[in-house]
A and B are shown apart, each in its own frame.
Chain A
Amino acid sequence: MNLITLIKIGWRNIWRNKKRSLVVILSIVLGLYGGLIISSLMITLNSQRMDTAINTYLADIQIHDKEFSKEYSLSDTISNIQYLEEKLKQDNRVKAYSKRVVINGMLSNSTGSYGVNVLGINPETEMKVTNVYTKIIKGDYFESERSNTMVVGKKLAEKLNLKLRSKVVIAFQNVNGDITSLLFRIEGIFKSGNGMFDDYNVFVKNSSIFSNIPDLKSYHEIPILTVDGGVTTNSLNESLKLDLQKINNTLDVKSWDEIAVELAYANQMLGSFLYIFMLIVLSGLSFGIINTMLMAILERKKEIGMLMSIGMTKIYIFLMICFETVFLSLVAIPFSLLITYITIDYYSVSGIDLSVVGSGLENFGVGTILYLKLPIEYYFNLSLLVILISSISSIFPAIRALKINPVEATKSI
């Protein structure tokens, strides 16, 4: 007997009780669809969280002085920065870069004080690297002729009741260890989509820092956007990182995932988590499959007994039942993938508006509109998982079929 005959019998057998088979198929379709959509939501959430972090602050690679990475001291600036800049300008892997002064200080106004991270930037170059300028919800992004202006996050503005043009004082320890205070006016308020970032980071012009701290000679941070950057750590980023490191051994060159370790870790964990999640969902589904197949075997006890009587070997009986079970999932999978693809394709453009839980999402570092996406390997891998689960589900009914006594099943020979 060849497998094609077994496959043919298995295929036809699943349509003997159309209603029952369709119920199982539908449950597999919905189970896989639900799993894929949940996977897509999780991946999108995580991906948007990383995108937000990279686009608003991290960039693909950052350079610091090694000492600055340890102490965050104002005096630990990047040395020989002109040479480094020349190298960056010549390197065709570099799309854009910026230079930042980073100061940990205390922002105060009449309402209160709050610890902040002050990022001294050149607005023109920073706009090529990060997108905070597109997130301005009130005021402007350093369009004023004034030097001492500041752009703050919405959360911080709400916390300290900051209005446009209101004055704030930044107090911090200068290069010599003395406390220095600088006065700024609020020029703009941004909302990046990451509540924690908006709560803690403020932007000022480099020029305002250097003019007030003459002892500060250089920058603390160079964020770099690469031509092939993004949330996936790639070989280009890695090679650039290694080459930059070779320029000067006092440099600390790190990719975004080394700086925001928690984001990278969450990204790595997500894949495993999703497969475990799907395994649990589909395991539940497998009980439905087992039940259906047991019923089918019970109905066809006589027929299976006959097959055994006329000489069908146990392995063929076993395979026949397995094929039937797997066919149920093979019918379901294309439908499931199709509706998943259509759903994700639609929401990848129009987005899912989750503004009802917007504040929670912002705290998580994600905007309120989710643009669904799902890597193609998830379609493939989760389909394989369904086939695997249904194959495993077929074992028990198949074993039950083998236990049929042909004499009893056929009542007589």
Chain B
Amino acid sequence: MIETENLKKTYKQGSLKVKAVDNVNLEISDGEFTAIVGPSGSGKTTLLNCIGGLDDPTSGNVIIDDEVISSYSSGQMIKFRLNNIGFVFQSYNLIPVLTAKENIEMVMLMQGYNKQDMDQRSSDLLSEVGMSNMSKRRPAELSGGQQQRVAVARALASKPKFILADEPTANLDSKSTAKLLDIMSKLNKQENITFVFSTHDQRVIDRARRVVTLEDGKIIKDIKK
């Protein structure tokens, strides 16, 4: 379970203090398919960054499965992220010099998988995201949608507790978006993987089973479908 407890994040912009996340208390249970929505600057991304341990909260706590991760050291946090969180980025961020399969295996290599297990898992993941026949292609040889599917497979590679996806469909056409959402939805239902998105995309919002709306860093609406 993901919990935030009185989470605050304040940025300084010159002499101004901007409250990007303002006293957010949120609980996301295992297996949820949650979209965090809101206008630009509402604090969606900052909230996800804090949950993912990429950004330190100004105050409050982030608790994952009863562990207060916001108190972790930098080294502990890197290790935690590697083993517990999968990330999907808006612009895919695949390593251009590695093939689709190698991009997925990279995370497992960091975790110390042996070659055989790694090979098996990366093949399975590519199959799950419908990219088996493109395993040897490099990112430049894939479309945006295909790259994002590989990115989802990479996020799943470490067997994370949950996946944080920041605007994962922002750069995709509707066909690719639909396919990606199908894949993520299937993984969520079949393997009970928790997905948390930040998004503007109505197509994602429509598919989400919970929609948390932020405005000026505060939760103004939390709808479970």
**Residues of A with Cβ closer than 8 Å to B?**
1-2, 5, 9, 12-13, 15-16, 302-303, 305-314, 316, 406-407, 410-413
Contact = CB atoms under 8 A, between A and B. Distances in A.
B97 A13 contact: yes
Contacts of A306: 87, 89, 93
Residues of A contacting B: mostly:
helix
A154 to B, nearest CB: 66
- Give the interface centre of B54, B83, B91, B164 by most chain A CB atoms within 10 Å: B54
A412 B81 CA distance: 15
Contacts of A302: 91, 93
Contacts of B61: none
B164 A413 contact: yes
Contacts of B109: 1-2, 5
B90 A311 contact: no
Interface in B76-132: 78-79, 81-83, 86-87, 89-91, 93, 95-98, 106-107, 109-110, 112
Given A313-B78, A407-B55, A412 B93 contact: no
Contacts of B86: 310
B4 interface: no
Given A311-B81, A311-B107, A410 B89 contact: yes
B82 A311 contact: yes
Contacts of B167: 412
Most buried by B among A9, A15, A410: A410
A310 to B, nearest CB: 6
B87 A413 contact: yes
Interface of B: 45, 48-49, 52, 54-55, 75, 78-79, 81-83, 86-87, 89-91, 93, 95-98, 106-107, 109-110, 112, 154-155, 158, 164, 166-167, 198
5 contacts: A1-B109, A306-B87, A309-B81, A311-B81, A413-B48
A312 to B, nearest CB: 6
Contacts of B98: 9, 12
Contact of A16 (B45, B96, B112): B96
Contact of B106 (A5, A12, A314, A411): A5
Closest 5 CB pairs of A and B: A311-B82, A12-B97, A306-B93, A412-B166, A1-B110
A306 B106 CA distance: 12
Given A2-B109, A13-B97, A302-B91, 16 more contacts: A12-B98, A303-B93, A307-B95, A309-B87, A310-B82, A310-B107, A310-B158, A311-B79, A311-B158, A312-B78, A316-B110, A410-B89, A410-B93, A412-B48, A412-B90, A413-B89
A407 B81 contact: no
A308 B75 CA distance: 11
A16 B184 CA distance: 32
B62 to A, nearest CB: 13
Contacts of A2: 109
A407 B158 contact: no
B164 A16 contact: no
B93 A311 contact: no
A413 B93 CA distance: 10
A9 B96 CA distance: 10
Given A9-B95, A306-B89, A310-B154, A412 B45 contact: yes
Contacts of B87: 306, 309-310, 413
A280 B149 CA distance: 51
A281 to B, nearest CB: 32
A11 to B, nearest CB: 9
Contacts of B52: 309, 413
Contacts of A303: 93, 95-96
B106 A412 contact: no
A311 B110 contact: yes
A413 B166 contact: yes
B109 to A, nearest CB: 4
A412 B49 contact: yes
B54 A406 contact: yes
Contacts of B110: 1, 310-313, 316
* Residue of B86, B89, B107, B166 contacting most chain A CB atoms (<10 Å): B89
Contacts of B154: 310
A195 B153 CA distance: 79
Contacts of B164: 413
Contacts of B93: 302-303, 305-306, 410
B81 A310 contact: yes
Contacts of A312: 78, 82, 110
Contacts of B112: 1
B97 A413 contact: no
A313 B89 CA distance: 19
A304 B152 CA distance: 18
A1 B158 CA distance: 13
Contacts of A406: 54
A5 to B, nearest CB: 5
Contacts of A12: 97-98
Contacts of B49: 407, 412-413
B136 to A, nearest CB: 14
Contacts of A310: 81-82, 86-87, 107, 110, 154-155, 158
A321 to B, nearest CB: 14
Contacts of B48: 412-413
Contacts of B75: 313
Chain B CB count within 10 A is highest, among A16, A313, A314, for A313
A252 B54 CA distance: 80
Contact of A311 (B78, B89, B198): B78
Nearest to A312: B110
Nearest to A316: B110
A307 B81 CA distance: 11
